[in-house]
Amino acid sequence: MQEAFEIALSEWRYKGTPKNCFGWLIHVSQNKLINKINRDSVGSKILNRISYEEEEAIASHEAEDSLLQLLIFFSKINVSDRNKLIISLFYLCGFGYSEISRAMMLPVETIKKIILRSQVLIKKNAIQYEKCEFESLHNEMPHLLHVLYLMFNEGFKSSQKRESIKKDLCFEAIRLSVLVKKYQEDHCELNALLALFFFHVSRFPARIQENGWISIQFQNRTLWDKNLISEGYAYLNKIDLSKNRLNKYHLEALIASVHCSSPNYEKTDWRLISTLYSQLEFLEPDAIAVKINRIIAESNYLPITPLIEKMFDLEPMLNDFLKFPFYSSLAFLYEKGGKKEMACHYYLCSLSYTNNQFDNEYINLKLSLLHS
């Protein structure tokens, strides 16, 4: 579907919009899918199950139902939750090996092996697969939500070397979430996830300058989209905490909501954000990124030196995927504490682990400001 949208952006500009836009997109994306299956030799038996209809005859609700069925198809493959996520990201979301590697924090070679071994299982499941009643989606929701969350995250900050935000991927994650919501109207985690997505998307216009990121401290908040923020709160307010416990998505949405409701960086309720990160740590005790974010939040109202010591306690637990946020955050703390030399040292350390051009530009800007 993503590739079909890309083709539409270029072709429709010059050839005009087709009469049946949705049918055109489905037809093109179906051809893309068939080419992908042929190219990877993944199952002539899957191809035999695809019905070829004229694009004019495709009703939008049927196409949406087919897409949802495909999501469910991958959620039911009999592999570990980790491997299920990997093959869903590869076949459904169009992620490359390096993108999945960063999303899952696993070596690229491991990702390749898992995807290669999955092909036999996909063919086997295609033969045995029976359509699922959408109203009984509840058991598949943890997998579906995780896929949507990782899809949005890749769009929110691309792992590609020359890209920053992939807006189309973020909006596709929102579209699919709304599609799932048709059948899971009061699902607590889904409402929280949609709230989180809208809060993040609302800040897109203020997040980027020419070649680098703008940290939330210096973003022009008048550019934040108030309508999207209101949409986020609408989903957040649908959650009944008397019936549901706090979950990862809800806590992340609450943190994002505090940022979105703050008039500026200084007047942000950093103590509340730290408390929410602490709750998130309780749910995810091994999540180093959460611990780093909590320490950064605490740096806005606690002494810096003890927080730097807390950061160094995390260093033995780092993998290569976490070294950029760790060293850049450590440098930020030294910078905040007025120790420019140490800040420069750790910003330089973080440069060894930058993943894309925008990270590079952001760190180089920090270094130039410190040297000026």
Q: What is the CA radius of gyration of the chain?
A: 22
Give, in words, the CATH class of 285-372. mainly alpha
pLDDT of residue 345: 96
The one-letter code for the residue type at 274 is: S
145: phi > 0 → left, psi -120 to 50 → alpha, else beta; which? alpha
pLDDT of residue 46: 38
Strand partners, 208: 213
pLDDT of residue 56: 43
pLDDT values of the chain reduced to their tens digit, one per residue, 372 residues: 777 777 777 566 555 688 778 777 887 787 777 656 654 444 344 334 444 433 444 445 555 566 677 777 788 788 899 999 999 888 888 888 989 998 899 999 999 999 998 888 887 776 665 666 666 677 888 999 999 999 999 888 877 666 678 888 898 899 889 888 888 888 999 999 999 999 999 999 898 877 678 889 999 999 999 999 999 999 999 988 777 788 999 999 999 999 999 999 999 999 999 999 999 999 999 999 999 999 999 999 999 999 999 999 999 999 999 999 999 999 999 999 999 999 999 999 999 998 788 888 889 989 998 987
Domain ranges across the chain: 186-268, 285-372
- In whole angstroms, give the CA distance from residue 279 to residue 349: 30
Contact 178, 194 (CB under 8 A): yes
- Residue whose token pair is 């590739």: 3
pLDDT of residue 21: 80
- In whole angstroms, give the CA distance from residue 175 to residue 197: 11
pLDDT of residue 52: 41
Tokens in use for 256? 């994002």
Burial class of residue 185 (count of CB atoms within 10 Å of its CB; 0-12, 13-18, 19+): exposed
- In whole angstroms, give the CA distance from residue 32 to residue 4: 8
The answer for residues whose C-beta is within 8 angstroms of residue 168's C-beta and 6 or more apart is 2, 5, 6, 155
Sign of CA dihedral 88, 70, 173, 360: positive
- Residue whose token pair is 């030294």: 334
Phi, psi of 318 (to 5 degrees): -75, 145
pLDDT of residue 50: 40
- In whole angstroms, give the CA distance from residue 282 to residue 346: 29
Q: What is the DSSP string of 197-220?
A: HHHHHTTGGGSB-SSSB--GGG--
Q: Which of 244, 72, 256 is nearest to 156 (CA)?
A: 256
Tokens in use for 289? 């990124």
Tokens in use for 343? 């800040």
The one-letter code for the residue type at 253 is: A
- In whole angstroms, give the CA distance from residue 143 to residue 79: 12
- In whole angstroms, give the CA distance from residue 368 to residue 340: 11
- The predicted model scores a pTM of 0.80
